[in-house]
Amino acid sequence: MITIRAFKPSDLPGILRIERESFNQDAWPRELFVEYARAAPMVFLIATVSGSIAGYSLACFTRHGAEIVSVGVRPKFRQQGVATALLKKTLRKVRNSGAQAVWLMVRRENEGAIRLYRRLGFVRTATVRNYYEDRATGWRMRVILRSVAAPAS
């Protein structure tokens, strides 16, 4: 069973392990996670399976909505619904906060992630060449959470 909960500082070693296993040389440093935990604790979520940290998702609020800035799942827990559970909970929290849209960036060649995001309602809105440090192309994707009311006439 997958359990989703808020980040706790004691989760940091598990998150850093996921980063190394998932992103290799692109793994974020500890300090960045600490900063996000301070800035957006409500949308820094941890997934556990049988008590083990299986994944995390991290979002931040902006003036117009929220951005999912990172999602990571340990390789041994992939294809088990962990990322889906994390993202659904993130989208609920963001929607409940009043945000109208959520966006993210994904590597164009990350077909599995793109399929997941599309199942959750995300659509590609832009292609960004050389987005990643290795000059890989990224896709900006967005999902609308609330429609903006039309002005009364």
We report the CATH number of the domain holding residue 52 as 3.40.630.30
Residue 82 maps to a domain: yes
Place of tokens 């300090």: 31
> Considering the domain boundaries, does residue 151 fall inside one?
no
In a domain, residue 116? The reply is yes
19: left (phi over 0), alpha (psi -120 to 50) or beta: alpha
Residue 48 pLDDT: 97
Domain for residue 135, yes or no? yes
pTM: predicted TM-score of the whole model, two decimal places: 0.89
Q: Is residue 58 part of a domain?
A: yes
Domain range for 8 is 2-144
> pLDDT of 32-75, one tens digit each?
999 999 998 889 999 999 999 999 999 999 888 999 999 999 99
Does 153 fall in a domain? no
Q: How many domains does the chain have?
A: 1
Q: What are phi and psi of 63, to 5 degrees?
A: -60, -35
Ranges of residues in the chain whose predicted pLDDT is under 70: 146-153
